[in-house]
Amino acid sequence: MTETEKKAAHRERLEQKTVVTSRLSETTRFVAFGIVAWVFAVQASDAEFSKTYIQNYEIWINIAGAFAVISIASDYFQYLCAYLSVEHALNRKEQGYKFNRNHPAYFLQTAFFVIKQVTVGLGAISIATTFALHIFLN
């Protein structure tokens, strides 16, 4: 593989990474808001199903809702940190406008990306598990 081919392959992988991370963020947002809606609907419902579901799994339902809210907040803070990181890079003329990987905003951008994925995943697992248990055990 020539250097030109390697650079082209690298550029393609970066483009794929951009698409995938964007889709992950969209999906995370969608799932997190869905969990919040689910928790609200179940908590607000007078249906017998909801009453027994809450009675048996309230702590897990509330934890799932809290995880979803943390995920939504992390999504926002990720973008805020990205903005701050770009602003910082734009002030680094002497360094060729490169990102400062040691800048807190640069680190936090990645941290919030991971946090939002983990928390929405845990929230989804909590809802799916408790719902399945409630359906099959009742």
The H-or-E segment that residue 117 falls in is: helix 104-137
Most confident of 4-8, 29-33, 103-107, 134-138: 29-33
Chain segment 41-99, per-residue pLDDT in tens = 999 999 999 999 999 999 999 999 999 999 999 999 999 999 999 888 888 888 888 88
Distance CA 92, CA 37 (A): 43
Number of CB atoms found within 10 A of residue 90's CB: 9
Q: How many whole angstroms separate alpha carbon 44 and alpha carbon 58?
A: 13
Task: Describe the chain by its helix, strand, coil percentages, rounded to 5.
Answer: 90, 0, 10
Q: Which amino acid is at 107?
A: F
Tell me which residue of 83, 86, 74 sits closest to 115, measured CA to CA. Answer: 74
Domain residue ranges in the chain: 29-137
Q: Name the most confidently modeled range: 7-11, 20-24, 36-40.
A: 36-40
pLDDT in tens, 102-117: 889 999 999 999 999 9
pTM: 0.86
Q: How far apart are CA 96 and CA 106, in angstroms?
A: 17
Question: CA torsion angle for 57, 59, 60, 66 (degrees, to 10)?
Answer: 140
Owner of token pair 């392959």: 9
